[in-house]
Structure 1
């Protein structure tokens, strides 16, 4: 099933599929490569092809140990492709799907790697615009780092910018993955380097908690939370790490750290989280519709729960899967009244492990048992109080003489 890509490359095997195209294992003059072949409808867009050529110099010049380098950009007939270094490993989404969450030391080390890669990109004037676990690759052949983490590399640079052409999205559309979109993008402002910091802090939160701080439910609700709600605290992590996450999730872009600062601060915090086990928290409810889930869902073993979202594998050994977190989801920009109409305050608060989800069948059953128990206790308390009153009255009656009504001494004749 091999096919030629331009004059220098051959695509041999599909590694994964995403919303923008298909990733192939390929061969080039210098050996194995990964080839991202964009969809045919994108390749036929002459405006996009022009932007593709314009971005060539910036993308080819981006070299860093924590960035999957782009070796070549191919425009050949109906083929529009990015030729990239081949990373032997897996993507971070696949790791999360397997482990649900990571130990804090490994999570911090991985995000520090990605921050270093972003720092190099931002210095070169390149904004990623779609930082998420699917776009972080773990090099299984690299040396192990803190917490047993594998070196992390950020991939898919330039793809979001290529797809997000003015004609394609217009002023009323936004391009991105809802869970990781910075508030300024939701409000229609142009994306700067700070949007990558916000998305990376969201990834760090997800690695620690097993869920994103503002995700869950309808994309419109997710967008509104980014703008109107503050992040809920994660119990069990050092205060210094939590304050760092909060700063990078600030609504104001200027309040966030730069990528180089974030990477350095995270590495300084590694000794504080060394040896810590993964956090023991459960995901909060996402939407009221989900609160009506049957009780059997609550009782399902962890291994049998529905996978939250699929991965888009980019390397050998991973299983291709569709994902509703794919890159370049096109959404309408919410109107100001829609953004202001959401609940203000703290976002969905994580539940202690094992606690029932508010509104679920199990939660209602627990609440019903609690009300019954309180009712029984109130009846028992009333009964005890009644018996005490009866005993006191009986004692008073026993100590009084016939005819006495006020316990006063009889008058002397």
Structure 2
């Protein structure tokens, strides 16, 4: 059913839903548009509406081939909407759901596109703050790029910042998607451009591996991994590409590359990746006993059991359906330092070559237990054999003793004078 959005736009059909609102296929004075209609509770927040209007100039000024341009911002009664360019294609999450992982050449080309979009945004003083596959659109009507990739465009600029108002967060909440949050956000520091680089490197890792480096399980456990764990190597990834991933996943923001540098370095990698097939790796085990103890996060909604098997972003909204309503953007309490320090330190969720057990996994532990039982049984047999041998040796010594040899230690009777 069509509905009017302001005086210039008409929304005809729902294209998708997210945590911040609903995306509609719409019509404007200049033709088809995409209209992101924010939730009514956001539209009724006067402080948020004020910030929405303040961001108008920055959002409308972002004009880049790898950014979905915002054409207009509408504030009309209970309607708060961003009017954007319509991209004929799909989002990167849908592509991942279909293919699980991409060939390195295509993954790097898509990531380079997004990095170039981020470079333009950062130059304009805009930080995205919610880079993830759901916010990357693939233009299916444009020419194909390296590895058969479609041009990637980053969307939803400014939405995270609009939602993250002081009244709403009180400096003690985390706004974002757990799998892609930079450590400094988890520690409660203000987000800078480097948080987008960390999130984009996480996306690149996911495109290559089929799962995120620190995701899986309770969101509190995910947050702790970002702060305390090092990223595990991916078997089969070229060393130079891996070094880029590691550098952009550095815990210290200053150690990460800038968006323009990352884009250039990724483009340099493309010739060496041509024709390389997707990596053949197994994702970390999903047994709950492999997960470290979760950090309790009051106010966060636990993931649905069926959703936990999906190793990308953790859905935190009840009823979210992976194929239509990927609602992963949430507000969580900032964990205390002692909570982040808990648990094992080192390399978490270690990927491995296909078919190989992961150290610490249930399968690996079962194998280790069986091995220990076999060794213990062998030790018992050896100990028993040693005991028998000692008994036989002792018995032999007794048999050789002379029967006339006195064995009593009692003193001899005195002789007669």
Q: Tell me, yes or no, whether TM beats 0.5.
A: yes
Q: 1:337 to 1:132 in 2, by over 3 A?
A: same
| Aligned equivalent of 2:318 | none
Output the CA distance in 1 between the equivalents of 2:88 and 2:271. 29
Q: Determine if contact 1:225/1:342 at 8 Å carries over to the other structure.
A: no
- In structure 2, what is the equivalent of residue 99 of structure 1? 99
| Post-superposition CA distance 1:247-293 (Å, at most 9, x none) | 111111111100000000000011121111111111113564468xx
Give the equivalent residue in structure 2 for 1:268. 268
Q: Which residue of 1 aligns with 2:325?
A: 322
Output one character per residue of 1:112-132: Cα deviation in whole Å (capped at 9) or x when no partner: 000000000000000000000
Q: 1:380-395, aligned counterparts within 5 Å?
A: none
Aligned to 2:58: 58
Q: CA deviation at 1:238?
A: 1.3
Alpha-carbon shift at residue 58 of structure 1 (Å): 0.5
Q: Residue 33 of structure 2 corresponds to which residue in structure 1?
A: 33
**What CA distance in whole angstroms lies between the structure 2 residues aligned with 1:339 and 1:311?**
19
Unpaired segments of 5 or more residues in structure 1?
A: 292-304, 313-317, 383-388, 390-413
Shift of 1:36: 0.3
Change (3 A) 1:361 1:348: closer
Moved more, 371-380 or 71-80: 371-380
* 1-structure distance, mates of 2:214, 2:134: 18
TM-aligned CA deviation for residue 229 of structure 1:
1.1
User: How has the CA–CA distance of structure 1 residues 215 and 369 changed in structure 2, closer, same or farther, with 3 Å as cutoff?
Assistant: same
TM-superposition CA deviations, 1:180-217 (whole Å, max 9, x none) = 00011111110000000000000001101111111111
2:351 equivalent in structure 1: 350
Q: Which runs of 4+ in 1 moved over 2 A?
A: 285-291, 305-312, 318-324, 354-382
Does the 8 Å contact 2:66/2:117 carry over to 1?
yes
Report if the CA contact (8 A) 1:285-1:358 is conserved: no
Matched residues in 1 for 2:35 and 2:314: separation?
18
C-alpha contact (below 8 Å) 2:134/2:326 kept by paired residues: no
| Distance change >3 Å, CA 361–CA 161, structure 1 → 2 | closer
Alignment-derived partner of residue 20 in structure 1: 20
Give the aligned length. 369
* Equivalent position SS for 1:116: helix
Q: What are the superposed Cα offsets for residues 294-325 of structure 1, whole Å, 9 maximum, x if unpaired? A: xxxxxxxxxxx95445899xxxxx9952335x
* Aligned counterpart, 2:302: none
| Alpha-carbon distance in structure 2 between the residues aligned to 1:142 and 1:256 | 31
**TM-score (norm. length: structure 1):** 0.82
Shift of 1:348: 1.7
Contact 2:216 2:314 in 1 (8 A): no
* Aligned partner of residue 216 in structure 1, secondary structure: coil
Maintained 8 Å contact 2:235/2:353:
no
Q: 1:310 to 1:90 in 2, by over 3 A?
A: farther
